[in-house]
A and B are shown apart, each in its own frame.
Chain A
Amino acid sequence: MRAYYSTRHVLDRAFSGLGYGSVALMALALVALLGPIIGKGLGAYWFRGTVEFRLFVLERFHRGNAKKIGIEHREAMRAREPFWAVLRAFEAEMESDSALRRRVGKDYHRFQSHIRELLGPIPGDSPPLLMRQQYGQTRWDRALVKRHQALHIEEWDYGDGTGMGVRVWKPRRLLYAGTALEPAFDLLENHLEAMLRPRWTWYGRFLTDESFDAHFFGGIWAEMLGTLCLTVFAMLVATPIGVLSAIYLSEYAPEGKLIHLLRLFINTLAGVPSIVFGLFGMAFFIHALNVTPSKSVLAGSFTLALLVLPTLIRASEEAIRAVPQAYREAAFSLGASRWHTVATILLPAALPGILTGTVISLGRAAGETAPIIFTAAVSMGEPLRWGRLLTAPTPALPWNLYNLCTEHAAVDEIRHVQFGMALTLVALVLLLNMAGIFLRARVSRQLKV
């Protein structure tokens, strides 16, 4: 009984406790990370779309029932009519009351621009240039944010003396008390649904729609296609080289200093920061070899291939080495040449391991950002076309996700696109990995009994 309190036992328990603890911590971190990505990312596909959304899809992609949407749009326009009437009445009041104009003229301009963002052009406006000004809010969640901005005046309170301002939302209606604009606030508060007609919408084409006006509208097809092309071409380049190198290293290479050194280099290459690969790719493939005059899928794929090669070589070499020596001896004793043994015995037996390496590399190539910054990725661009699949630069999910989150003119307006991209990227990598695991399981089942 006393054995339970021995040092060995306590240590043993402490270690297993630590083990469980770290696994739990990892699971928690995973949930904390994936939760928002999935939750908010789904918002790009599944949201309350307004009549503006349906109108946009009809006009730009020619999808949807034109007749029904036309009727719905007219009804929404009719519901907005009283609101426009209030605005016109107020403008007339300002015409005649110059004191009122001086008092609220500036703020009314701000109010108007909020309304334009919320509902689209105000009747009488000249046709706007940017697409984002031609439509009202397409998403109900964004519409609610815009309504809040229209209903309130944003002020900063520096009263606590620390110099740090506190944001205060003051009801805008207070400023317009007693004027003709007052009913507008009630209309906004109570009848916005009739003006925008939100409805739960499944927008699966987010994946395959082109984007419009810097991702204010549409989907992420250009990025999707770019990532797919980059990944596929990178693997097409890397897999044959990687597997052949692994075959050489495990079956042909004479054990010696030179091969030892070569292995060391390969392992070191696996630890080189990816941004260095990016710079190297630009310097080597674009400037030195001039595969294309500027950024392109080709240059990006080569760079990504280089990046995943060490992983691929190591995984394949391990897999080929792990094939029992007895298979080699049996094949040789039957009069098979070295190459024949590799092709008919070793590669099939090592296939599960090689597949695993390939899939890991595939996921890595799909998600890498740094190597493509200088070699392939552009922040805004057309989806790739057949004729210039290899020679054109392209947007790609990882780089454009970063770009949209940091360098976009209206980062806050397109959160749903950012999260949608993140979800799509994660799902893509997950899907590739699952496919790999499935394939591996199938192949190993064939090898076993």
Chain B
Amino acid sequence: MSEENPHVKAREFSVLYRDRPAVKKVTLSIVRGAVTAIIGPSGCGKSTLLRAVNRMNDLIPGCRTEGELLLDGENIYAPGIDVVALRRRIGMVFQKPNPFPKSIFDNVAYGPRLHGRLTRQELAERVEQSLRRAALWEEVSDRLHTNALGLSGGQQQRLCIARALAVEPEMLLMDEPTSALDPRATTRIEDLIAELRGSYTILIVTHNMQQAARVSDYTAFLYEGDLIEFGPTRDLFTRPREKQTEDYLTGRFG
């Protein structure tokens, strides 16, 4: 985990919705293979920042960016960037589990079918491997061809993680992945994040500070679009440098 070679680096990076800035001139480096959490009160721009990394904000009309966002040193907002190729390298897990109304197998196989020319055998292996990594294989191996919407919320979310992993990304973006789940399912997802750490760079948005403290190596605190503080999680939670961070962590606002 070297800080010399950041996986993602934001340099004076802003996101604007119809000229109203949601993320203001943020500069930070995300360490390869580490779990980085973004915390902050509702509406502070943490989801916007997360979605900027795989350019999901492109779908929102009137949304534009300023500054640079570098993935392995390459500005992903430079003209001529292949967004499809970019999204292949960066998987995403959403707030609400959103499996497709297809079978479990087809859900996981969706990404690989899109990109690679795998044989049936390879595809089946990829699906199994992804489901194992997402700690779901044991539960669904006997009903791969039933509809994914029949799974519980927590299983659906792990299926979404498996679906993202099946594309073999370098990085995972998680947008409050446990906010729609019960405590037990939440624990499973958090355990899963701990297992995936090291193999993937993980960027997770959460409004649950305990979760950030439990799962992340680094934490960024965002407030009204400004990056207030960024550093190793332990330091930020025990010895915050900024007054605002301390106020937020102690529950004085948020």
Contacts and interface: CB of A to CB of B under 8 A. Distances in A.
Interface of A: 254-255, 324, 326-337, 340, 344-345, 348-349, 446-449
8 contacts: A329-B56, A330-B99, A330-B100, A334-B91, A335-B85, A336-B110, A348-B102, A446-B147
B94 A334 contact: no
Interface of B: 54, 56, 59, 61, 84-85, 87-88, 91-92, 94, 96, 98-102, 110-111, 114-115, 147, 149-150, 160, 163-164, 167, 173
**Which of A254, A326, A348 has the largest number of chain B CB atoms within 10 A?**
A326
Contacts of A448: 101, 147, 149
Given A332-B59, A345-B100, A349-B101, A449 B167 contact: no
A365 to B, nearest CB: 30
A255 B61 contact: yes
Given A333-B164, A334-B88, A448-B101, 14 more contacts: A326-B96, A327-B100, A327-B101, A329-B94, A333-B56, A334-B110, A334-B111, A334-B164, A335-B88, A335-B167, A336-B114, A340-B114, A348-B102, A449-B150
Contacts, number: 70
Contacts of B114: 334-336, 340
The list of the 3 closest CB pairs from A to B, nearest first, reads: A326-B98, A333-B92, A335-B88
A255 B164 CA distance: 31
A345 B167 CA distance: 17
Nearest to A326: B98
Contacts of A333: 54, 56, 87, 91-92, 94, 164, 173
A449 B85 CA distance: 33
Nearest to A349: B101
A329 B54 CA distance: 11
Contacts of A340: 114
Contacts of A324: 98
Given A449-B147, A449-B149, A330 B88 contact: no
B173 to A, nearest CB: 8
**Which of A326, A329, A334, A447 has the largest number of chain B CB atoms within 10 A?**
A334
B56 A334 contact: no
A80 to B, nearest CB: 72
A370 B228 CA distance: 71
A255 B60 CA distance: 12
Nearest to A333: B92
Contacts of A344: 110
B149 A337 contact: no
Contacts of A326: 94, 96, 98
A332 B87 contact: yes
A329 B59 contact: yes
B91 A337 contact: no
B76 to A, nearest CB: 14
A249 to B, nearest CB: 15
